Amino acid sequence: MAYGAAMMLHPTKHPTPSPEARATLNAQALACRRGQRLLFAGLDFSLERGRILILRGPNGSGKTSLLRLLAGLSRPEAGQLFWCGMAVPPSGAGLSEQVHYVGHSSGMKAAFSVTDNLRFWARYLGGAEDRLEASLEALDLEALAHLPVGALSAGQQRRVSLARLLVAPRPLWLLDEPTVALDSDNQHRLTGLIQTHVQNGGMAVIATHTPLGVDGASLDLRDFQPEAQHMAHDPLLAFED
């Protein structure tokens, strides 16, 4: 089932329209700092429904930081995000409610069963508990449903984290190295879930070093590192070894 109209932000006195209002998610001149280090600056992209954006770059280039920024877990150093043509406030309100973020942490309670963890997330995210069975089946977790998450292998725990995507539909998936600890069969299973999601009008931003077999635009964060931008604007430096 295709997603309906996305939740709009409550307008402020003077709402700022995006110059690319048809793009569901638009970023303009984003900059991100971690500690004293500026990870990237001047980062722009647009993402429409039914599309995938693949984040590229070595470790430390800012892929995880960008995903956390999009999830509303941190704030940009500079720049602006737009959702459905409306400026997203620094708090992330209006965008964070549209997002599923699966990061390096499982987000699960080790002592709780697989089913109890997913039931908690269904309630917390406003999903329906009748989606639990389908989410377990989609990630081949039925036989593990009664076990505590802490008793599972790393790959099994990863599948439980990914099942959270299905208990409460949200249009924007933010996935940070989602194939970590997955064997080839479950990597293919994940690819199928992503493809179905975007075919139904969803979107995904994915940081990965592993080819997923999905079509998507590529965004290399090395192109937005301050050093790279300095080189691009200085013809003498560009020719130095």
Task: Say what the pTM is.
Answer: 0.85
Q: How far apart are CA 171 and CA 79, in angstroms?
A: 23
Q: Are 175 and 31 in contact (CB under 8 A)?
A: no
Q: Give the max Cα distance, the chain.
A: 64
The full set of domain ranges for the chain reads: 42-238
Give the Cβ contact number of residue 101 at 10 Å. Answer: 21
Decide which of 22 and 221 is more confident: 221
CATH of the domain spanning 42-238 = 3.40.50.300
pLDDT computed for residue 227 by the predictor: 73
Tokens representing 229 are 């931008």
Q: How far apart are CA 233 and CA 41, in angstroms?
A: 14
Average pLDDT of the residues in 115-142: 94
Q: How far apart are CA 42 and CA 29, in angstroms?
A: 4
Decide which of 3 and 101 is more confident: 101
Percent of the chain with pLDDT strictly greater than 90: 77
Least confident piece of the model among 16-30, 112-126, 155-169: 16-30
Q: What is the DSSP letter of 89?
A: P
